[in-house]
A and B are shown apart, each in its own frame.
Chain A
């Protein structure tokens, strides 16, 4: 039974490490291997060594399944896990739009309430920790690169 220790002393941390983020970190989605891979990309953050490998299985123009592996901090793992669960069943266009919205949200260009983004709302708290924004965006940038046909991407 996981009981979260919310930090009474430092409320700012609770904005970063929302309960839902820690849940995704502990038990990330997207671990089932795919039957076939249509798009694939590896992303890494050379500053910290975080790595993610993302594979997509498509049916018609819809994302049927996503497989994600690699290693990283709680923010990057949780963000990848959310990606895997949220993009499943979405059309490529919808997925791209969501990815774009998330990036804009992290850079303060749009408000999270402008769109219904489910669990992804939780990532908004990362905005207050500028050095961690890259962690949150690594899986999404890798996803975009996979669709663009690039096999390897570095975020710097």
Chain B
């Protein structure tokens, strides 16, 4: 059963008071989520009771730590229904993509080859490929989005050619909330013989993701966006490919044998885990996975959709807001659709008068935490024709009462800048040479 009151008790931070005693309304979950007590206790339990380096120690603590660390791989596999695949722990989604861009790039990509991305990618799924382009002189192609903030699949299909070695696309946009049709792209990739990587940082925490059903080659995501600690990223992928590609980082743990002449890499997954891994956080991530399983991904998704619908309804009063969400875009009446997962949990918006930073600062005074800026998606911002937007993002512990506070605080922010009271207000350029210049605005004494 989904008991919101009980769930909220699991997160001590949700009792936090901000400024002069305003309750925290945390709506920045797409950036990172809060951690339940079970995750924090798993972390401290490791340090207090069985802290040891893993794999190499012959003592009791090392054995306990190794068992606990390795057990999380199986939990991850179960969580995303990836039975035969391998799980590699990295630092974050970004590192997982860098690993793939480097190691797959070394093996597969040559001058003139193409990497296909989309216009809605996070910088973490753009820059590693730009780096590869510098090494391999390959081309980076961006599949366009349409006016409904969804991928244009017809155009995407045409962009897949014999030169397309790798396709790397987000499952769910961190700005638009759009959920892409991964199965459809996976079929195209398979037919064409392209490797397909899915950035699932925003999907795995919020909806049931089934690796097998998606049909991609690699799935990458981060622990900290799903109640886990920071510093743990995941890479799930085919054993066959991981066996073939060269290692990413070199050092201890990733080798089988080293001589003065060279080395033999370790078996997978350890071949890709050089140095002492983030043992404590991986173990605590295991606790987060158990916790999410207990609540149920279907319940999480349903609750977030309900919150999104409620918030969109509340935002209707601000008819001067531009909302970048596929639900809104495809439905002029702003009635959310229930036919797929797209658009739930993330509401990104802007208006020409009040800059997102000012909105964020003002509503922060009401205890409401949202994000303002380019959300590490500058090319997408350019496509949307803005330099920055404001984003509210939900998780299962958020409530409708919190959204009421959010809407109230937004109202105050717009009142403050007189939006709504004077909708026609536009920013006009004023010259300091103009005769209309206010004398008070340029006093130098």
Q: How far is the CA of A149 from the CA of B443 in the complex (A)?
A: 28
Contact A20 B440 (CB under 8 A): yes
Number of A-B contacts (CB under 8 A): 113
Q: Which residue of B lies closest to A85 (CB)?
A: B442
Are A7 and B432 within 8 A (Cβ)? no
Whether B374 pairs with A49 at a CB distance below 8 angstroms is: yes
How far apart sit A5 and B437, CA to CA, in the bound complex (Å)? 22
Which residue in chain A gives the minimum CB-CB distance to B431?
A: A32
B145 at the interface (CB under 8 A from A): no
Interface-facing stretch out of A11-19, A100-108, A140-148: A11-19
Contact A31 B357 (CB under 8 A): no
Say yes or no for B313: interface residue by CB 8 A criterion.
Answer: no
8 Å CB contact of B373 from A23, A27, A48: A48
- Check A139 for interface membership: any CB of B closer than 8 A: no
Taking a contact as CB atoms under 8 Å apart, the answer to whether B430 and A27 are in contact is yes
Q: Is the CB of A74 within 8 A of B358?
A: yes
| CB atoms of B432 and A88 under 8 A apart | yes
- Assess the B373–A84 pair: CB atoms within 8 A: no
Secondary structure of the B contact surface, majority rule: loop
Residues on the A chain within 8 Å of B354, using CB: 74
Partner of B357, one of A32, A73, A82: A73
A50/B429 contact (C-beta < 8 A), A5-B415, A12-B365, A85-B441 known: no
Asked if B444 and A31 sit within 8 Å, CB to CB, the answer is no
B445 touches A118 (CB 8 A): yes
Contact A16-B361, Cβ < 8 Å, known A23-B438, A119-B442: yes
Please tell me which one of the listed residues A28, A71, A82, A116 contacts residue B429 in the complex, with CB atoms under 8 A apart.
A28
Q: Kindly identify, within residues 160 to 187 of chain B, every residue whose CB is under 8 Å from any CB belonging to chain A.
A: none
| Shortest CB distance A12–B (Å) | 6
Residues from 399 to 426 in B contacting A, C-beta threshold 8 Å: 412, 415-418, 421, 425
Contacts of B428 in A (CB 8 A): 26-27
Contact with B along A1-40 (1 / 0, CB 8 A): 0111101011011001100101111111111100000000
CA distance A85 to B374 in the complex (A): 30
Shortest A41–chain B CB gap in Å is 18
A32 touches B372 (CB 8 A): no
Across the interface, B378 reaches (CB within 8 A) one of A9, A30, A49, A89, namely A49
CA distance A30 to B433 in the complex (A): 8
Closest Cβ neighbor of A22 among chain B residues: B417
State the CA gap A154–B121 with chains docked (Å): 23
Q: Smallest Cβ distance from B318 to chain A, in angstroms?
A: 16
> For A27, A30, A32, A50, which residue has the most chain B Cβ atoms within 10 angstroms?
A27
Q: How far is the CA of A32 from the CA of B68 in the complex (A)?
A: 66
Q: In the complex, which residue of chain B has the Cβ closest to the Cβ of A16? A: B361
With most chain B CB atoms within 10 A of its CB, the pick from A23, A51, A74 is A74
CB distance from A109 to the nearest CB of B (A): 22
Q: How many residues of A contact B (CB 8 A)?
A: 48
Q: Which of B421, B425, B427 has the most CB of A within 10 A?
A: B427
Q: Is B388 an interface residue (CB 8 A)?
A: yes
Contact with A along B372-385 (1 / 0, CB 8 A): 11100010010000
Docked-complex contact B430 and A31, CB < 8 angstroms: yes
Given A9-B412, A48-B388, A74-B440 contact (CB < 8 Å): no
How long is the Cα–Cα vector from A82 to B365 in the complex, in angstroms?
26
> Known interface pairs A31-B430, A85-B441. Does A51 touch B387 (Cβ–Cβ under 8 Å)?
yes
Q: Which chain B positions have C-beta within 8 A of A20?
A: 440-441
Determine if A132 and B373 form an interchain contact, defined as CB atoms under 8 angstroms apart. Answer: no
B91 within 8 A of A: no
The reply to whether A10 and B365 contact each other, CB–CB distance below 8 Å, is yes
The answer to whether B355 and A31 touch across the interface, beta carbons within 8 angstroms, is: no
Alpha-carbon distance A32/B437, docked complex (angstroms): 12
> Of the candidates A16, A50, A129, which one forms a contact with B387 in the assembled complex, judged by CB atoms under 8 Å apart?
A50
Q: Which residues of B contact A82 (CB under 8 A)?
A: 442
User: Which one, B412, B425, B430, B440, contacts A7 given CB within 8 A?
Assistant: B412
Chain B hits for A72, CB < 8 A: 355, 357, 387
Encoded as 1 (CB less than 8 Å from any B CB) or 0, chain A from 58 to 75 comes to: 000000000000011111
Q: Which 9 A-B pairs have the closest CB atoms?
A: A85-B442, A27-B430, A73-B355, A73-B357, A31-B429, A29-B432, A49-B374, A48-B373, A32-B431
With A30-B432, A85-B432 given, can you name 10 additional A-B contacts, CB distance below 8 Å? A2-B418, A3-B418, A4-B418, A5-B418, A5-B421, A20-B441, A28-B430, A31-B430, A48-B374, A116-B445
Q: B residues within 8 Å of A by Cβ?
A: 19, 354-358, 361-362, 365-366, 372-374, 378, 381, 387-388, 412, 415-418, 421, 425, 427-434, 437-438, 440-445
